Chains A and B, each alone.
Chain A
């Protein structure tokens, strides 16, 4: 280790005196082999349907979809966008922006759409 790295104490020391079980004992060979459950799996495993629906739980308190009418703004400039390009599926505000929209390569089009989660996702 370089001197300045040690001085800055950048790295986490491997042995902590206050711990009962050290990291290297718990997880030999570096990374833990345990696959941690993602949030979706945790929620699934919770089985909230077995419990009283009135009781607040993680899924219950999520807010419903918005009732307000969806405001359409231009993907590129941010102004109000009454128009929609059928070819690229982007929203645009006026003719100049449209020129820009049509000149964009596909990569940028997909990235703009990804901002709104409207991009084509190939899994």
Chain B
């Protein structure tokens, strides 16, 4: 990066006598300060401050210049962006200016009770008096400076280069700066401000334009496009095309030269680790593990089953033994004998035996459904002997017994019926499947078509239901009983149906009298209405179940079938590119093609960014026109020594472009020579330093006393004389 900050604290402050002026180049981009007579400024830093809050202590501190971002992590920088004292090229925020001067003097090594040196400070062309006076005030009051001089940085640069022979006594100084661009004609070595012209475009706008363009083109990498990085890119890669239209056409055609001119910035990117398909051993190993697990589970099940079988067998044996014993024991002793074992009657024992043998058989894997049924039927007729006997013949206890038996009978019968229904349904389904299969076998194409259409319809229905639900579901819950009659959109389908029924019932009567409810049948209306939202949730399940069935069926028989993914209710923003493919290296490349010469073009055409002013080449014409000398020779002299200074003049190709531009404005054959300063960035300071080192500098400054005596008006007319 060509611009480097130098912020070392200088130690030799005391070496300089009080007469040595301090030279300050107060630019919108960089602040340079040093001693008069030297070739390099001592301290250089960016002319911005930040006031972050310290995270732990909470105090607000001031950080001047561009600092190491790593150290700023201790500070909360959310509310404090970088702030500049400048608005355009005029200083208006003197508090910030004070911080900056503090820092500058501190790093210069200042000590003592005041700055005891005359100061030469640069300002913009035709600085408003207010800004000038406030600056003077700041320097006099706060720093105790004995005397101050203001000068224009472009003029200093011009004079310095004039000494070097790069430009003549008469010439045009063109200074594209950070926020503004000036063209100043010099006649007899003095700037003629009457002919000066200023356009409010500069390096800041170029960088900003580049930043916006790249952010719009690569929205995913926006975080990487910081101001500093973009400035670096601009300084390294941007150039000015000799003819914009021609270059643009080159790139549009996609020619080889355009390819050469395109620069590509590769952002750091790590390819994701490739997941190798599991090797043979892996697969075998996993299969073995699964096998073993399955085995274990099966063993456990087996063990359980066998233990249960044993248990049941034991129980059965015991019961049979008991039965045997019972057979041996006499009639009278049965109750007492049985009470010991816990069974009430022989019948009960027998029924338990049958039950146990049944379960044993089931456990052994022989399910005999019919037998169970038969057993149950047999049981029912035996178990409920009291049912058939009419009531009047039974005692109270027996009545109770009878009631219990009736209850048991009905429940078992109900269970049987349910089981039967299930069996029937199974048979039905089997039949349907068989039919389906037959249909499929006889005409596969047609069948497939039918399935597909059915799938589509069901899908649509389900989707619609879902959509309705999401739009109405939020409102419907808990809203069923509210009196929001007028809000039609709030009610869901069930509630709407309810409303409809009620209103029709109300209207049906009509005839001026409301006799709803006079007849009993009217109240049947309420049976038609669904209760709250219960039905709503059950309904779609049926459709969904059907859908699932059809889907699975299709998947079985149709190899090309892909189940449609459910559309999410939210609309995805079209700005997001769906990442269906893995990110490649190319995604992380930032290509600078047209932007390379599009951004600096705005110096010559401010219209491109909406600033309705003349560009660089036009400004020279304006400037010469404003001078309004009829002296052709002078004009020729001016154009034969066009001098470029300022940070933005470092763009390659700017000289040729400017020359071509000026040639368009001037009469044919007039001499045009464009020269660039030896060091556009630092020459302003150097010129000022040379100026300040001169003996006669002291006559040009004004002191505090002068300032207060002569007042503002005098300050307005104060101008430096640059030729010494």
| Residue pair B128, A58 in contact (C-beta under 8 Å) | yes
Count B interface residues, CB 8 Å: 81
Tell me, yes or no, whether A65 is within 8 Å of chain B by CB.
yes
Q: What's the minimum C-beta distance from B141 to chain A, rounded to whole angstroms?
A: 7
Cβ of B352 within 8 Å of any chain A Cβ, yes or no, is no
Given contacts A5-B74, A60-B126, A66-B615, contact A13 B610 (CB under 8 A): no
| A118 CA / B248 CA spacing, docked (Å) | 22
Contact for A79 among B92, B213, B252, B612, CB less than 8 A: B252
Most buried by A among B245, B607, B610, B615: B607
**Could you give, for residues 88-104 of chain B, a 1 whenever the CB lies within 8 Å of some chain A CB and a 0 otherwise?**
10101111001100110
Instruction: Tell me if B197 counts as interface (CB < 8 A to partner A).
Output: yes
B609: Cβ under 8 A from any A Cβ: yes
Contact indicator B103/A63 (Cβ below 8 Å): no
Known contacts A36-B93, A42-B128, A105-B574: does B113 contact A66 (CB below 8 Å)? no
Find A18's partner among B68, B112, B130, B252 (CB 8 Å cutoff). B112
A105 touches B248 (CB 8 A): no
Q: How far is the CA of A58 from the CA of B62 in the complex (A)?
A: 32
Checking A10, A18, A58 against B111 with a beta-carbon cut-off of 8 angstroms, the contacting residue is A18
Q: Is A20 an interface residue (CB 8 A)?
A: yes
B209 A115 Cβ-Cβ under 8 A: yes
A8 and B68 form a contact (CB under 8 A): yes
Asked if B193 and A56 sit within 8 Å, CB to CB, the answer is: yes
- Check A18–B114 contact: CB distance below 8 A: yes
Q: Is A101 part of the contact surface with B, judged by Cβ < 8 Å?
A: no
Q: How far is the CA of A47 from the CA of B562 in the complex (A)?
A: 77
Which residues of the partner chain A approach B615 to less than 8 Å between Cβ atoms? 66, 68
Q: Which residues 1-49 of A sit at the B interface, judged by CB distance below 8 A?
A: 1-2, 4-5, 8-13, 16-21, 23, 26-27, 30-32, 34, 36-39, 42-43, 45-46
- Cβ contact within 8 Å between A37 and B92: yes
Give a binary string over A58-84; 1 marks a CB under 8 Å from any B CB, 0 the rest.
101111111110110100111110000
Q: Is B573 an interface residue (CB 8 A)?
A: yes
CA distance A43 to B197 in the complex (A): 17
Contact A71 B198 (CB under 8 A): no
Contact A62 B198 (CB under 8 A): yes
Min C-beta distance of A47 to chain B, whole Å: 10
Q: Are A79 and B142 in contact (CB under 8 A)?
A: no
Residues of chain B with a CB closer than 8 A to A99's CB: none
Beta-carbon contact of B62 and A12 below 8 Å = yes
Q: Is A123 an interface residue (CB 8 A)?
A: no
A73 touches which of B92, B143, B198, B608 (Cβ 8 Å): B608
Contact of A78 among B67, B99, B112, B248 (CB under 8 A): B248
- Known contacts A18-B110, A20-B142, A56-B126: A65-B193 contact under CB 8 Å: no
| Binary contact readout B594-609 vs A (1 if CB under 8 angstroms, 0 otherwise) | 1100100000011111
Contact A103 B102 (CB under 8 A): no
Q: Are B62 and A66 within 8 A (Cβ)?
A: no
* Any A CB within 8 A of the CB of B316: no
Size category of the binding interface on chain A: 35 or more
For the complex, what is the distance from the CA of A42 to the CA of B644, rounded to whole Å? 30
B557 lies within 8 A of chain A by Cβ: no
Bound-state Cα–Cα, A38 to B196, Å: 23
Residue B194 lies at the interface, judged by CB distance under 8 Å to chain A: yes
Assembly CA distance A49 to B142 (angstroms): 33
Bound CA–CA A117/B252 (angstroms): 25
Give Cα A77–Cα B194 distance, bound, in whole angstroms: 40
CA distance A73 to B251 in the complex (A): 13
Pick from A18, A60, A67, A115: contact of B213, CB under 8 Å: A115
> Contacts A20-B141, A103-B574, A108-B575 given: A79-B126 contact, CB under 8 Å?
no
Inter-chain contact B618/A61, CB cutoff 8 Å: no
Contact in complex: A63, B197 (CB < 8 Å) = yes
Q: A63 is contacted by which of B67, B88, B99, B614 (Cβ under 8 Å)?
A: B614
Given contacts A5-B74, A18-B113, A71-B244, contact A56 B90 (CB under 8 A): no
The CA of A9 and the CA of B62, in the complex, are separated in Å by 11
CB distance from B75 to the nearest CB of A (A): 9
B288 / chain A contacts, CB cutoff of 8 Å: none
Q: Say whether A66 contacts B607, CB under 8 Å.
A: yes
Check: B641 CB closer than 8 A to any chain A CB.
no
Contact with A along B53-96 (1 / 0, CB 8 A): 01001001111100110011010000000000001101011110
Q: Evaluate contact between B102 and A19: CB separation under 8 angstroms.
A: yes
> Are A58 and B127 in contact (CB-based, < 8 A)?
yes
Q: Does A57 contact B (CB under 8 A)?
A: yes
Known: A18-B143, A43-B128. A61 touches B609 (CB 8 A): no
Assuming the contacts A11-B61, A23-B98, asked whether A36 and B198 have C-beta atoms less than 8 A apart, the reply is no
Chain B proximity of A80: nearest CB distance (Å): 6
Contact between B105 and A116 (Cβ–Cβ < 8 Å)?
no
A45 touching B622, Cβ below 8 Å: no
- Contact residues in A for B95 (Cβ distance below 8 Å): 27, 31-32, 34, 36
**Closest Cβ neighbor of B180 among chain A residues:** A62
Q: Are B57's CB and A10's CB within 8 A?
A: no
Does the CB pair B614–A19 fall under 8 Å? no
Determine whether the beta carbon of B90 is less than 8 Å from that of A12.
no
Q: Given that A38-B92, A118-B610 are contacting pairs, would A56 and B194 also be in contact in the complex, using a CB cutoff of 8 Å?
A: yes
What is the minimal beta-carbon distance from B345 to any residue of chain A, in angstroms?
85
Distance between Cα atoms of A36 and B622 in the complex (Å)? 33
Q: How far is the CA of A58 from the CA of B126 in the complex (A)?
A: 5
Whether the Cβ atoms of B105 and A73 lie closer than 8 Å is no
Is B161's beta carbon under 8 Å from chain A?
no
Which residue of B has the minimal Cβ distance to A30? Answer: B60
Interfacial chain A residues near B114, Cβ < 8 Å: 18-20
Task: Check: B144 CB closer than 8 A to any chain A CB.
Answer: yes
Which of B144, B209, B216 has the most CB atoms of chain A within a 10 A radius of its CB?
A: B216
Q: Taking the complex as formed, is B311 at the interface, i.e. its CB lies under 8 A from any CB of chain A?
A: no
B71 touches A4 (CB 8 A): yes
Distance (whole angstroms) from the CB of A106 to the closest CB of chain B = 10
Contact, CB under 8 Å: A46 / B129: yes
A108 to B200, CA, bound (A): 26
Bound CA–CA A63/B176 (angstroms): 14
30 of the cross-chain contacts (CB-CB < 8 Å) are A8-B71, A12-B64, A12-B103, A13-B106, A17-B111, A18-B113, A18-B144, A19-B142, A19-B143, A20-B113, A20-B114, A38-B92, A39-B92, A42-B90, A45-B130, A56-B194, A63-B197, A66-B605, A66-B606, A66-B614, A67-B618, A71-B245, A73-B598, A76-B216, A77-B252, A78-B251, A79-B252, A112-B216, A117-B610, A118-B610
A sample of 18 more A-B contacts (CB under 8 A), given A11-B62, A23-B98, A30-B60, is A8-B71, A10-B71, A10-B72, A12-B64, A16-B105, A17-B113, A18-B113, A20-B142, A31-B95, A57-B128, A63-B199, A63-B614, A66-B614, A67-B618, A71-B245, A76-B216, A80-B245, A108-B216
Instruction: List 7 A-B pairs, minimum CB-CB distance, nearest first.
Output: A117-B610, A78-B594, A56-B193, A39-B87, A12-B62, A78-B598, A11-B61
